[in-house]
């Protein structure tokens, strides 16, 4: 089978790595890829937001399956274009990707599905939004409706912060994404991520994870796209997973199907769990990054079979073969991230790292230049490992980190603290 993966981050490196373990994969191309991906697969430069460009490329290269990594092509309708051209695609339609692309849409789906989520109101103008905040008080959460590169959510601990967020959003700081605003109640509890494959009818859970959003140890510093993750997440016990499926996932998928926009792809539910009761914080229509890295480390070669079955509508015949294992990924980022940071510093020492089914250093943002490996982004490397328990996985991941020679990089030293103490 010839496979094309769209994207070029740590998530796509992990997807490519798992795909290549499966003997079904004859040829793998990743567009655009990165320096780490180029070491294991062919990389192609391609405008992945342009459906006809991707169709042309897929036809030229006799591609049998296209896996879409990031949300931007999904929200732009690239999956629709590819399917209309008769290609087999993993990833939701533009209509179904609204579960990530519009917070107001997701709230309306939760209402219709009766799925537990924070109480909310939506506004297209500042004055009634300000009045609502004054009435509700703080803490309260203000969200830009659209995709805002992870920056459109303000968890306001004071009324003043919430009002400032309203001013920012309606003054256009978040562009189109902030033209509509959702204001919701502040939820307390423990956050976790839950990943479910859906082929439009059948839903199959493929793992749980917990992310570390703050930049520095002890959950200090600014919010980031994620500085590390581990799987499984103990707070998502079997009982909580069962409740989440019954109360949130199944009703959501049924409502999407009822509307004539069935969901196909990976559904990533961000949950808040308190006293064993899950509430939905948000949906994403893609794998988490870096959560995907730990899921792929645990699933290995079967990930491709599951993804293919999802794309072909055959999930009902599939099951996941779980090992009693744990995985962790530690993100190395350029100093300065998530604020401004320089690109182009040299990274050494990666050649000596182990590359086994228990440990891999995935590349999130790197490029090769004249024989040197250079940092090419904020989040740059993901030291990822698996073990019989989380402590073993952690020790393997940090042993990789310690062997990397990159003075311009930093990482958190406490990934997994909730479990490991």
Using rule CB under 6 A, residue 221 touches ligand AMP: no
Nearer to ligand AMP, 25 or 209 (CB): 209
Nearer to ligand AMP, 282 or 325 (CB): 282
Using rule CB under 6 A, residue 81 touches ligand GLY: no
d(CA 107, CA 252): 11
Nearest to 316 by CA among 157, 198, 396: 198
Residue 291 contacts which entry, ligand AMP, ligand GLY, none (Cβ below 5-8 A, type-dependent): ligand GLY
Residue from 161, 164, 191, 219 binding ligand AMP (CB under 6 A): 191
Residue from 270, 300, 313, 349 binding ligand AMP (CB under 6 A): 270
d(CA 385, CA 153): 31
d(CA 281, CA 278): 9
Residue 168 contacts which entry, ligand AMP, ligand GLY, none (Cβ below 5-8 A, type-dependent): none
Q: Are 328 and 397 in contact (CB under 8 A)?
A: yes
Q: What single string gives the DSSP state of each residue in 62-89?
A: T-SEEEE-SHHHHHTTHHHHHHHTT--E
d(CA 158, CA 39): 49
Closest separation between CB of residue 283 and ligand AMP, Å? 9
Nearer to ligand GLY, 88 or 198 (CB): 198
Nearest to 287 by CA among 305, 265, 306: 265
Q: Are 347 and 375 in contact (CB under 8 A)?
A: yes
Closest separation between CB of residue 379 and ligand GLY, Å? 10
d(CA 207, CA 233): 9
Using rule CB under 6 A, residue 282 touches ligand AMP: yes
Residue from 64, 81, 291, 359 binding ligand GLY (CB under 6 A): 291
**Binding footprint of ligand GLY, residue count (CB under 6 A):** 7
Residue from 210, 231, 261, 284 binding ligand GLY (CB under 6 A): 284
The region of 62-70, 286-294, 311-319, 410-418 touching ligand GLY under the rule CB under 6 A is 286-294
Closest separation between CB of residue 284 and ligand GLY, Å? 5
Q: Are 17 and 296 in contact (CB under 8 A)?
A: yes
Using rule CB under 6 A, residue 289 touches ligand GLY: yes
The secondary element (H helix, E strand) that includes residue 18 is helix 10-21
CA distances from 70 to 78, 90, 96, 328, 390 (A): 11, 12, 14, 21, 28
Output the six-digit token pair for 85: 């051209």
CA distances from 366 to 35, 307, 332 (A): 5, 26, 11
Using rule CB under 6 A, residue 187 touches ligand AMP: yes
d(CA 18, CA 37): 12
- For the window 178-217, what string marks contact with ligand GLY as x by the rule CB under 6 A? ---------------------------------x------
The region of 9-17, 88-96, 180-188, 337-345 touching ligand AMP under the rule CB under 6 A is 180-188
Using rule CB under 6 A, residue 265 touches ligand GLY: no
Nearer to ligand GLY, 12 or 211 (CB): 211
Closest separation between CB of residue 163 and ligand GLY, Å? 27
Residue 226 contacts which entry, ligand AMP, ligand GLY, none (Cβ below 5-8 A, type-dependent): ligand GLY
Q: How many CB atoms lie within 10 A of CB 347?
A: 22
The region of 53-61, 152-160, 284-292, 299-307 touching ligand GLY under the rule CB under 6 A is 284-292
Q: Report helix, strand or coil for 133.
A: helix
Nearest to 89 by CA among 71, 70, 64, 72: 64
Subset of 152-171 contacting ligand AMP (CB under 6 A): 153, 155
Task: Please classify residue 351 by burial: count the beta carbons closer than 10 Å to its beta carbon, then call 0-12 exposed, 13-18 middle and 19+ buried.
Answer: exposed
Q: Which residue is nearest to ligand GLY (CB)?
A: 226
Q: How, if at all, do strands 65-68 and 2-7 pair?
A: parallel
Residues that bind ligand GLY (CB under 6 A): 211, 225-226, 284, 288-289, 291
* Interaction site with ligand AMP (CB under 6 A): 118, 141, 153, 155, 184, 186-187, 191, 270, 281-282
């Amino acid at each position: 089978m010839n496979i094309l993966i769209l994207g070029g981050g740590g998530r796509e490196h992990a997807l490519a790595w798992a795909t290549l373990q499966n003997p079904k994969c004859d040829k793998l191309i990743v567009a655009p890829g990165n320096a780490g991906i180029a070491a294991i697969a062919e990389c192609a430069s391609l405008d992945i937001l342009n459906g006809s460009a991707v169709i042309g490329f897929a036809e030229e290269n006799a591609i049998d399956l296209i896996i879409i990594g990031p949300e931007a092509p999904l929200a732009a309708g690239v999956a629709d274009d590819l399917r209309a051209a008769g290609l087999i695609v993993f990833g939701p339609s533009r209509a179904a990707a609204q579960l990530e692309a519009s917070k107001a849409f997701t709230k309306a789906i939760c209402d219709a599905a009766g799925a537990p989520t924070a109480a909310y109101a939506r506004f297209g103008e500042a004055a009634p939004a300000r009045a609502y905040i004054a009435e509700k008080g703080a803490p309260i959460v203000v969200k830009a409706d659209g995709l805002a590169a992870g920056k459109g959510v303000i968890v306001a601990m004071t009324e003043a912060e919430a009002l400032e967020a309203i001013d920012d959003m309606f003054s256009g700081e978040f562009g189109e994404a902030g033209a509509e605003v959702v204001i919701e109640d502040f939820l307390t509890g423990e956050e976790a991520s839950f990943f479910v494959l859906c082929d439009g009818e059948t839903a199959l859970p493929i793992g749980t994870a917990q992310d570390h959003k703050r930049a520095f140890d002890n959950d200090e510093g600014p919010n980031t796209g994620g500085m590390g993750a581990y799987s499984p997440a103990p707070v998502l016990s079997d009982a909580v997973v069962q409740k989440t499926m019954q109360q949130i996932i199944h009703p959501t998928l049924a409502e999407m199907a009822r509307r004539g926009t069935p969901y196909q792809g990976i559904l990533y539910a961000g949950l808040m769990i308190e006293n064993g009761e899950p509430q939905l914080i948000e949906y994403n229509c893609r794998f988490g990054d870096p959560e995907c890295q730990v899921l792929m480390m645990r699933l290995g070669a079967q990930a491709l079979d599951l993804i293919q079955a999802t794309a072909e509508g055959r999930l009902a015949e599939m099951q996941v073969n779980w090992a009693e294992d744990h995985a962790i990924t530690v993100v190395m980022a350029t100093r300065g991230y998530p604020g401004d940071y320089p690109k182009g510093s040299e990274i050494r020492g990666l050649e000596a790292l182990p590359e086994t089914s228990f440990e891999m250093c995935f590349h999130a943002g790197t490029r090769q230049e004249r024989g040197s490996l250079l940092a090419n982004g904020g989040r740059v490397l993901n030291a990822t490992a698996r073990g019989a328990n989380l402590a073993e996985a952690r020790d393997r991941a940090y042993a990789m980190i310690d062997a990397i020679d990159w003075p311009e990089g930093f990482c958190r030293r406490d990934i997994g603290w909730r479990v490991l103490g």
